[in-house]
Structure 1
Amino acid sequence: MIGKPVPEFTLTGYNGLHPGLATSDLKQGSVTLVNVFGTWCPPCMAELPTLAALAEQHGVTIHAIAYRDTPEALDRTFRSRPNPFRRIGMDQRGEAVFSLGVTGAPETFIVDGKGIIRYRHVGEIRPEQVDMILNRIAQARKS
């Protein structure tokens, strides 16, 4: 999927503060991260503080696709863990995840402002990988 447009999808939102996610949201002119996660996924939960640091300390816009999850599980999770996501699309059936070619959660995509996938990170983003992710974001901004 690297170098290709994000596939077409429209997902309903998690709640009023975190509206859904659609392909059109990724074509707004700025680079975004799209994180595929699930509250049932231990590595997904482990990376939330790192994603929160990317958002809070580095101003990175991060959206999420909640894969086979429920709003109730997200409520429970975000009571005790950071929520770094601006938009959270609920993908109960895994259709958007499948169209992106995701092999397992977590996976994170860097999408340029035109909706083109510029990088795919398989697995948890760890603190020692933040500089690499920021470099990839900088490269995507130049695209």
Structure 2
Amino acid sequence: MAEKKRVSFMMILPPVIFLGVAALFFFGMQRDNPDLLPTALKGQPAPPLQLEPFAGKQMLTDEALRESGVKLVNFWASWCAPCRVEHPNLMALAAEGIEIHGVNYKDTDAKGTAFLAGLGDPYTLAGSDKSGRTGLDWGVYGVPETFVIDASGKIITRFAGPITSSVMEKTIRPAIAEAAASE
């Protein structure tokens, strides 16, 4: 009798586990934006920058983040495939006059320079975060990540992942408009 109960329990267990996992996936997919990684820095001043100069570019500084105008801070690297995917969209934003600052993250200047030479350079100011210290301070999970900053240096939003056309329209442009309205 005990053997029969064990067999029937073992036959029921896999479908029960499957249904549980399926329910987790289903409810996880119901979130508004499953790609959105929240940041505790929204509405806060941008953390201090601890950057090194990057390949002869004008240095990105704390003061630059607090100058008038809306700006984007983009963490990127030459070894990052999604950074290549988003790059044409950054170039388009820069061509529209949006100020974009780059942080070359855990990369070498030589590789970063080659990346920009091949794809174009959308960055007004830049710095190198070879150790990843600034990335940690900013809560960067990985590259690419982009922050929209207002004229006072406050973080309006953060987007983790490549900026696609859809992300530009649904996330980045509304954040730029919000930052511009706060001036």
TM-score interval (norm. to shorter): over 0.9
Report the Cα distance in structure 2 between the residues aligned to 1:13 and 1:29, rounded to whole angstroms.
Answer: 23
Report the Cα distance in structure 2 between the residues aligned to 1:75 and 1:82, rounded to whole angstroms.
Answer: 10
Q: Which amino acid aligns with 1:13?
A: P
Pair 1:94-2:132 in alignment: yes
- Which residue is equivalent to 1:54? 93
Q: Which amino acid aligns with 1:38?
A: A
4+ residue segments displaced more than 6 Å: none
Q: Which amino acid aligns with 1:20?
A: M
CA contact (8 A) 1:12 1:21 kept: no
- Which residue is equivalent to 1:38? 77
Q: How does 1:1-143 map to 2 (within 5 A)?
A: 1-16=41-56, 18-56=57-95, 58-132=96-170, 133-143=172-182
Unaligned runs of 5+ in 2: 1-40
Shift of 1:70: 1.2
- CA RMSD after TM alignment: 1.2
Which protein has the bigger strand share? 1
CA contact (8 A) 2:50 2:129 kept: no
CA contact (8 A) 2:77 2:105 kept: yes
Which protein has the bigger helix share? 2
Identity of aligned pairs, percent?
Answer: 35
Unaligned runs of 5+ in 1: none
Shift of 1:52: 0.2
CA contact (8 A) 2:68 2:152 kept: yes
Report the Cα distance in structure 2 between the residues aligned to 1:128 and 1:100, rounded to whole angstroms.
Answer: 24
Shift of 1:44: 0.8
Q: Give the number of the structure whose alpha-carbon radius of gyration is greater.
A: 2
Report the Cα distance in structure 2 between the residues aligned to 1:91 and 1:67, rounded to whole angstroms.
Answer: 5
Counting matched residue pairs gives 141
Q: Which amino acid aligns with 2:94?
A: A
Q: Which amino acid aligns with 2:44?
A: K
CA contact (8 A) 1:37 1:64 kept: yes
